[in-house]
């Protein structure tokens, strides 16, 4: 997408300090948006801010724990003040932990729901009034194929991601009259540090070597590869633009064809 495609737009990206969120923030800035970036780590946010600046874009950092309602309210208020409102919201913050159901810790359940679902609810609720006031908006939720299908040992993560797809569809129906679209991106395994942690977990649990464990994840895709952060960012930038105005309430799978429903 050309730099002027999102010129004059203000975006807010959560979980923007690394991986998918970092790439989305950089690519939105490349397309001309001014980007507010949210994460818990001040130093990592400074690194992303500097990277976007080197690429000719503009970013503003906001430190917040997106599972904390009070911190979300403060961060969004500052973002709206400094950005002049928000046109594009990318709810990317999330994380995955696994455990079999027998003996599943309740704390893990609540942590996965808070990080992967409640955070998006809190941030969207705080942001949406700005979009309603502007008469336009794009909300993009980064989900997972776990929001479209089930898998062993990730009951909490899968439940949260299914919930986020449901939230996407409910808000798409509720907000469409205000010129706001809400969509979800559902990638398969992505070549990020989080997937590397999954590879290490598989290797430790099964006794496989790390390379073999990584190949097992790659083989979940008919293309025999991991999805790249660049692919996800390109889709996010498209959904944020004017050409995607007719796309609403969709959970778009990006996994090489493993999930076809």
pLDDT tens across 210-228, in order?
A: 889 889 899 989 999 999 9
pLDDT in tens, 161-203: 999 999 999 999 999 999 999 999 999 999 988 888 888 878 8
Using a 10 angstrom Cβ sphere, with 0-12 exposed, 13-18 middle and 19 or more buried, the burial of residue 184 is: buried
Q: What is the mean pLDDT of the chain?
A: 95
C-alpha 121/C-alpha 26 separation (Å) is 24
φ/ψ (deg, to 5) at 169: -70, -40
pTM (predicted TM-score):
0.94
> How sure is the predictor about 204, in pLDDT bands with cuts at 50, 70 and 90?
confident
C-alpha 46/C-alpha 30 separation (Å) is 18
pLDDT at 2: 57
Cα 124 versus chain centre, distance: 12
Does 200 or 51 have the greater pLDDT score?
A: 51
pLDDT in tens, 118-158: 999 999 999 999 999 999 999 999 999 999 999 999 999 99
pLDDT in tens, 236-254: 999 999 999 999 999 999 9
Percent of the chain whose predicted confidence (pLDDT) is above 90: 87
Using a 10 angstrom Cβ sphere, with 0-12 exposed, 13-18 middle and 19 or more buried, the burial of residue 224 is: exposed
Q: Where are the domains of the chain?
A: 3-188+228-252, 191-226
pLDDT at 196: 83
CA dist 161 → 75, 154, 248, 254 (Å): 24, 11, 18, 15
Cα 197 versus chain centre, distance: 18
Instruction: Find all residues with CB under 8 Å of 136, minimum gap 6, and list them.
Output: 87, 178, 179, 180
Give the active site residues. Answer: 157
pLDDT at 3: 64
pLDDT at 205: 79
Average pLDDT over residues 78-100: 96
pLDDT at 77: 98
Average pLDDT over residues 93-114: 96
C-alpha 157/C-alpha 147 separation (Å) is 9
**Superfamily classification of domain 3-188+228-252:** NAD(P)-binding Rossmann-like Domain (3.40.50.720)
pLDDT at 195: 83
DSSP string for 77-127: HHHHHHHTS-SEEEE-------B-STT--HHHHHHHHIIIIIHHHHHHHHH
pLDDT at 176: 98
Average pLDDT over residues 61-68: 98
Find, among 221, 237, 219, the residue nearest to 229 by Cα: 237
Find, among 261, 32, 239, the residue nearest to 137 by Cα: 239
pLDDT at 261: 78
**Which residues does residue 91 pair with via DSSP β-bridges, in sequence order?**
141
């Amino acid at each position: 997408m050309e730099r002027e495609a999102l010129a004059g737009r203000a975006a807010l990206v959560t979980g923007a300090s690394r991986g998918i969120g970092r790439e989305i923030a950089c690519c939105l800035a490349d397309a001309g948006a001014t980007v507010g970036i949210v994460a818990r780590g001040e130093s990592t946010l400074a690194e992303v801010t500097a990277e976007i600046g080197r690429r000719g874009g503009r970013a503003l950092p906001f430190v917040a724990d997106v599972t904390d309602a009070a911190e979300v309210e403060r961060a969004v208020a500052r973002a709206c003040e400094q950005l002049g409102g928000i046109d594009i919201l990318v709810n990317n913050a999330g994380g995955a932990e696994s455990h079999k159901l027998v003996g599943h810790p309740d704390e893990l359940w609540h942590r996965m729901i808070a990080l992967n679902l409640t955070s998006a609810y809190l941030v969207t609720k705080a942001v949406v009034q700005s979009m309603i006031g502007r008469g336009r908006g794009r909300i993009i939720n980064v989900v997972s194929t776990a929001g479209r299908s089930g898998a062993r040992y990730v009951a909490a993560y899968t439940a949260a991601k299914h919930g986020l797809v449901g939230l996407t569809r409910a808000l798409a129906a509720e907000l469409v009259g205000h010129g706001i679209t809400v969509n979800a991106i559902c990638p398969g395994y992505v070549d990020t540090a989080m997937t590397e942690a999954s590879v290490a977990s598989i290797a430790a649990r099964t006794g496989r070597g790390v390379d073999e464990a990584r190949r097992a994840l790659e083989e979940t895709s008919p293309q025999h590869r991991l999805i790249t952060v660049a692919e996800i960012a390109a889709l996010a930038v498209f959904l944020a633009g004017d050409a995607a105005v007719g796309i609403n309430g969709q959970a778009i799978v990006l996994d090489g064809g493993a999930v076809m429903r």
